[in-house]
Homo-oligomer: A and B are copies of this chain.
Amino acid sequence: MQRGSNLERLGDYNQAVILEGIRLAPEGISRVELAEETKLSPQTVSNVVRRLLDDGMVREDRTIINGPGKPRTVLQLENNRLLGVGIHLDPGVMTLVAVNLAGEKVAEESRPIPVGSQNEIIREITDAVNVLIRSNRHKRANYVGVGIAAPGPIDVENGRLINPPLLNGWKGIELVGPLSKSLRMPVTLAKDTVAMTIAEQWIGGGQGHNNFIFTYVGSGIGVGMVIDGQVVHGVSGNAGEIGHFVVGETGVECGVCGRSDCVASTLDRTFLLGLAKEGGVDLGMSEEDIAADPNAALGRLAEIAREGDEAAKKIILMVAERLGSALGTLVSVMDLDTVFVGGHTWNDVSEFVLEPVAAVINRHFLGAGSHAVTVQNTALGTSVGAMGGACLILDSHISPRASSLLLR
């Protein structure tokens, strides 16, 4: 049965709405403007703002005189009143960031991904978080907690990783319980692409977009979806698996779904380097060097394509076509109008791939009679995963979600 709501929930929610209104106006916003935009009564806005001022969450910045009438006082966020720690667990590297309410990165820390027993892993992450927090001038008490962006599948309920294909030795590692105990702060866990999507919504181009897809193209491919302002987590927190949409034969079996016609197999290094060889692309590397460092070879392929080599471009554009096909299919079934794309691999080639991908998505999009689909590079940098973790924990503390109105 649906749950009801009450006055206390209502008050918390309206406070979150007003705080978000102030957060999204870095130039400052007046009480009158807040009331107009949130549709709340001036009295409610005034009461809530007083509480936010008392809590040191916002400050009265300056007074604007704009035509006749009473001068308006502009409110601004106390950016550093609350901060969140974000952790991105990636094959090879663990990235940590500290992020304030304005979405500014105030500290960053990178370490090799911990290996060892459950206890050793927890000890290493605890140490990294403590070093990160001590590395900047903000007090520990201002941190609301830690958000972890991890490769799926994850077990949200028990706060653990299930069996991340690319993180060796991390099968079944429990994070949320042990870490919140050792750090003595709240810890939350989300799938990496879900966390990145929250970052896109919080501090990226997704601000003000209630419906969009975030796409990550890196060592793997994944998406996050926002529908009517809500990030889609899925029933087990594992939404976003677009990698196995069927898009065309590659001849290389995908290690995850076992087929050879999915997007993931199209991004396979063996497949792409095989095409480069067939197409006579000169990577300027010996066969042995290519075999020894296929990632470097792929980077070279992208570089050559960027420099205008037609054979190399043809391969990259084929990938773009297939990626666009999968995204066009997803956009059609969800009926969305905005797609953001980012990730290491994407950044290497986005310059000449963005437009073709956008064209393919719109060609496949079936609601063309109703609207077009806009495709943009994400403005979030390479630490998008860790930023996602930080936004995840900040978001869970202060963002207004209609669902948070409901009684628990």
Chain A interface residues toward B at CB < 8 A: 1-7, 10, 13-14, 17-18, 20-21, 24, 37-41, 44, 152-155, 162-163, 211, 223, 225, 227-230, 232-242, 244-248, 256-257, 325, 329-330, 332-337, 364, 366-367, 369-371, 400, 402-403, 405-408
Contacts and interface: CB of A to CB of B under 8 A. Distances in A.
Contacts of A369: 153, 155, 162-163
A242 B403 CA distance: 28
A204 B393 CA distance: 37
A364 B257 contact: yes
A13 B13 CA distance: 15
A39 B228 contact: no
A21 B2 contact: yes
Nearest to A367: B238
A367 B246 CA distance: 17
A234 B228 CA distance: 8
11 contacts: A2-B20, A228-B403, A230-B230, A232-B335, A234-B334, A236-B367, A237-B335, A239-B334, A244-B366, A246-B325, A257-B366
A6 B40 contact: yes
B38 A20 contact: no
A192 B371 CA distance: 19
Contacts of A366: 153, 238, 241, 244, 256-257
Given A4-B39, A241-B366, 20 more contacts: A1-B24, A1-B37, A3-B39, A6-B41, A7-B10, A227-B230, A227-B232, A228-B230, A228-B403, A235-B336, A236-B337, A237-B335, A238-B370, A241-B333, A241-B367, A244-B329, A246-B247, A246-B325, A330-B333, A402-B403
B405 A405 contact: yes
For the complex of A and B, the 8 pairs showing the least CB-CB separation, nearest first, are: A234-B335, A39-B407, A236-B370, A4-B40, A402-B402, A239-B335, A162-B369, A1-B37
B153 A38 contact: no
A52 to B, nearest CB: 14
A154 B366 CA distance: 12
Nearest to A399: B2
Contacts of A335: 232-241
Contact of A402 (B232, B406, B408): B406
A227 B229 contact: no
Nearest to A1: B37
A167 to B, nearest CB: 14
Contact of A153 (B10, B162, B248, B367): B367
Contacts of A257: 364, 366
A6 B40 CA distance: 7
Contacts of A236: 335, 337, 367, 370-371
A342 to B, nearest CB: 18
Contacts of A2: 17, 20-21, 38, 229, 400
Given A329-B244, A407-B38, A407-B39, A234 B5 contact: no
A150 B366 CA distance: 16
Contacts of A155: 369-370
Contacts of A241: 332-333, 335, 366-367
A229 to B, nearest CB: 7
Contacts of A18: 4
Contact of A333 (B20, B237, B242, B405): B242
B244 A364 contact: yes
Contacts of A364: 244, 257
A322 to B, nearest CB: 10
Contact of A3 (B38, B238, B367): B38
A404 to B, nearest CB: 9
A234 B367 contact: yes
